[in-house]
Amino acid sequence: MTETIESTIGNQLDELQHMTTGELAERYHDLHGQPVGTRHRQYLIRKIAWRIQADAMGGLSERARARAMELANDSDIRVMAPKTMVCPPQSGVRSTVTKPHTPRDPRLPSVGSVIVRQYKGETVRVTVLVDGDGFEYKGGRYKTLSAVAKHITGSHINGFRFFQLGGK
């Protein structure tokens, strides 16, 4: 009897290797009763093979099911607070908000410097503003050098490459 069950399971598992991804998704839906959220072929084959074997051989033992339920009941206990948790202000405690320090790109000249470049017969002058404020070009403010370069050229280009900063 077990030889026929094993050969039947083996035949079904062999058939999975020859199915298309769409057919595997349909088979998954038939076996699990819900649509699958992925089209990853090997994942589908593993999940379908597990279900075929579990259906034929009985699935998890009662002891394993009981242990899984124990673990599931403990799963809603958090060890650490969520990172998005907002603590209420405590009385008598002052707090200040500071911007996180972002390291300055070493390719950029110091604040107040003017980057000068010749482009299509015109002299381009871009002023480096205070950290985080970006750059100024012809009275306009730009967050990145790439934005300035795009404004000048009309197409996307790396700002450091356009202004020949920090390259080879």
Average model confidence (pLDDT) across the chain:
82
Summarize the confidence of residues 92-118 as an average pLDDT: 74
**Whole-Å CA distances, 19 to 59, 82, 108:** 24, 43, 56
Tell me the pTM: 0.40
**pLDDT score of 136:** 92
Where are the chain's structural domains? Answer: 2-66, 114-162
What is the tens place of the pLDDT at every residue in 17-71? Answer: 999 999 999 999 998 899 988 889 999 999 999 888 888 888 778 898 888 888 8
Percent over 70 (pLDDT), the chain: 78
Q: Name the burial class of residue 87, with classes exposed (0-12), middle (13-18) and buried (19+) by CB atoms within 10 angstroms of its CB.
A: exposed
pLDDT grade for 133, boundaries at 50, 70 and 90:
confident
Whether 117 and 124 have beta carbons less than 8 Å apart is answered as: yes
Give every CB contact of residue 56 below 8 A, 6+ residues apart in sequence.
5, 8, 9
**Whole-Å CA distances, 75 to 62, 65, 78, 81:** 20, 15, 8, 14
**pLDDT score of 85:** 53
Tell me which residue has tokens 């699958």: 36
Please count the helices (runs of H) and the strands (runs of E) in the chain.
Answer: 6, 4
**pLDDT score of 60:** 78
- Report whether pLDDT(75) > 60: no
Distance between CA atoms of 109 and 128, rounded to whole angstroms? 7
Residue 128 φ/ψ region, left for φ over 0, alpha for ψ in the -120 to 50 degree band, beta for the rest: beta
Lowest model confidence (mean pLDDT) among 56-65, 69-78, 106-115, 117-126: 69-78
